[in-house]
Chain A
C-alpha cells in the first residue's frame, strides 16, 4: 500500500516537472515561431516580386490583402470580400451573379486580421450570425497607388498529396513567378517541381498562353535549361527565355503526373482569380467604393 502511494506521489511529481519544462519551452518558442513564419512568408512574397535582402522593396510599394469568404445563410450563398479601404476596411458582399448585395465599413486594425482565427471571428461578427467560411487571400501590390502585381495562394492535389503554391501575376494576369510552398512528392522524382528549371518555365507566360497550356513529354533543351537555372549571362538568357515563352511546360523526367498537376493547378488558380477580380473591379467602380489599391 505504502509502495503504491509513493509511486503515485513520485509519478505526479515527475509529471508536473515534465509539464513545467514543456510549458516553459512552449511559451518561449511560440512567439519566435510566429515571427519566423511571418518573416518567411514575407520573404517568399518579395522574392516572387523580384526583391531580396540585397535589393529591398522600395518604400513606394505597398501590399494590400483581400480576404474572400463564402457566406451562406439557409441555402443562399453569397461571396464576401474584406477589402482595405482608404481608411479602415470594407466588407463587400456579392451574390453569385456578381451583383452587389451589401457594403459595410469595418473599423479594425490591420494587425488583428493577420491571424486567421481572429479574422474569422471579426468576419462572423460582420455577417451577423450567418455561416462564414474563409476561402482565400489575395495580395494586391501597388506602387504609388498603381497596381503592379497580385500574389495568390493556392493548393491542389499532386501525385501523392497536396501541393501548396504561391503565384505572382502582373495586372494583365501574366505570370511573374511561381513558388512551391509545400508538397510531399517523391524525392528525386516529383520533388523536382521545387527546382528552378521547372518553376521558372511558368515565368512570363501570358494569360492567353496559360489558358491553353499543357505539358509535353520531351527532354528539356539544354540551352533553355541553362537559361532557366540562371547559369548564363542575363541578356543571353532573356533571349532564350523569350523564344520559349509560348511553349508548353516541359514535364519532369519520371514525374509527368506531378508536372501536369502543377500546370493544371496553376491554370485553375489564375483563371478563377481573373474571373473574380474582373467582377469585383466592376462592382467597385460602379458603386464608387474607394479602396486602397
Chain B
C-alpha cells in the first residue's frame, strides 16, 4: 500500500481529522492527569512528539529487517528506548518541568497511540512519510494537550502560561484533579456538536 498523501496532508490529518485525543480517544491518561496548565501540556506533548517521530523513523528504517513474528516486541523495545532517552534528557536539563510531569513521562511507553502508528503506518511506508506522519500525530497530541491545558488554566487559576489574564480565580474546580474528566468530556461533546451541526447544514443544502 503506497502512501499517496503529501507531507502537509499527513500533518493536518494528525492534528485535525485523526486527532489522537479528541478523535481517536487514545492516550487519554495524561490528557486528564496533568493538563492543569498549558505549560504542562506543552512539555508532555513535546516528549510524546519526540518519541513518536523517532520511533516511527526507526521502525520505518528497519521495517524489512523486522521478523513479522516479533513485530510487537520490536515496537515495544524501540519505544522504550526512546522514552528512556527523553526521560533522562528531561530529568537532566529541565528538572522542574520533569518533576511536574512525574510518572507520566515514563508512561509514554504504554501509550496506545504510538504503537498504533507504528503498526498501521511506519512498518509499511517510507522513512520520509513515516516522519511526517509521526510529526502529525505528535503535533496532534501536543495541540490537544495544550487546548485542554488552556481551558483548565484559564478557568481554574485565571492565568495563561503563568501570566495573569483575568486577575481572579474563576473556578478552583478546574484545577482540581477530577475536573480533567469534565473538561475532556465537554470538549469531545463540543466537537461532536460542531460535526453534527456541520452535517445538518450540509444535508439541508
Asked if residues B176 and A14 are in contact (CB atoms below 8 Å), the reply is no
**Taking the complex as formed, is A279 at the interface, i.e. its CB lies under 8 A from any CB of chain B?**
no
Pick the contact of B175: A21, A26, A187 (CB < 8 A). Answer: A187
Task: Report yes or no: B70 in contact with A11, Cβ–Cβ below 8 A.
Answer: yes
Contacts A3-B69, A25-B85, A187-B175 known; 9 new A-B pairs at CB < 8 A: A7-B67, A11-B73, A22-B85, A29-B91, A33-B91, A33-B95, A182-B99, A186-B177, A187-B36
Contact of A36 among B85, B93, B172 (CB under 8 A): B93
Please list 7 pairs of residues, one from A and one from B, whose beta carbons are closer than 8 Å in the complex, sorted by A's number. Answer: A3-B69, A11-B70, A18-B78, A40-B95, A186-B177, A187-B176, A188-B156
Residues on A with C-beta less than 8 A from B89 are 25, 29
> Contact between A21 and B85 (Cβ–Cβ < 8 Å)?
yes
Min CB–CB distance B178 → chain A (angstroms): 10
Write out the residue numbers on chain B whose beta carbons fall within 8 Å of the beta carbon of A243.
none
Q: How many Å lie between the Cα of A235 and that of B77 in the bound state?
A: 61
Summarize B's interface: helix, strand, loop or mixed.
helix
B67: A residues at CB distance < 8 A: 3, 6-7, 10
- Whole-angstrom distance between the alpha carbons of A6 and B66 in the complex? 10
With beta carbons under 8 angstroms apart, the residue of B73, B81, B91 that contacts A22 is: B81
Which residues from A are CB-within-8-Å of B205?
none
Is B12 engaged at the interface, CB distance under 8 Å to the other chain? Answer: no
Cα distance A175–B107 when bound, in Å?
A: 40
A23 to chain B, nearest CB (A): 10
Q: Establish whether residues A7 and B77, one from each chain, have CB atoms under 8 Å apart when the complex forms.
A: no
5 nearest A-B residue pairs (beta carbon): A33-B92, A29-B92, A18-B81, A25-B85, A32-B92
Closest residue on chain B to residue A181 by CB atoms: B99
Chain A residues in 8 Å Cβ range of B176: 186-189
A96 within 8 A of B: no
* Interface residues of A, Cβ cutoff 8 Å to B: 3, 6-7, 10-11, 14-15, 18, 21-22, 25-26, 29-30, 32-33, 36-37, 40, 182, 186-189
Query: What's the least CB distance linking B123 to chain A, in Å?
Result: 14
Task: Give which listed residue, A32, A182, A189, contacts B93 with CB less than 8 A.
Answer: A32
* A37 engages B95 (CB within 8 Å): yes
**Which residues of chain B are near A14, meaning CB under 8 Å?**
62, 74, 77-78
A229 → chain B, closest Cβ, in Å? Answer: 12
Instruction: Find out whether the CB atom of A36 lies under 8 angstroms from the CB atom of B70.
Output: no
A25 with B84: CB separation less than 8 A: yes
Alpha-carbon distance between A11 and B67 when the two chains are bound, in angstroms: 9
A188 to B176, CA, bound (A): 6
Instruction: List which B27-76 residues lie within 8 A (CB) of chain A.
Output: 36, 62, 65-67, 69-70, 73-74
**Shortest Cβ distance from B121 into chain A, in angstroms?**
20
A18: chain B residues within 8 A (beta carbon): 77-78, 80-81
B69 touches A7 (CB 8 A): yes
CA distance A10 to B36 in the complex (A): 43
Q: Tell me the minimal C-beta distance from A3 to chain B in angstroms.
A: 8
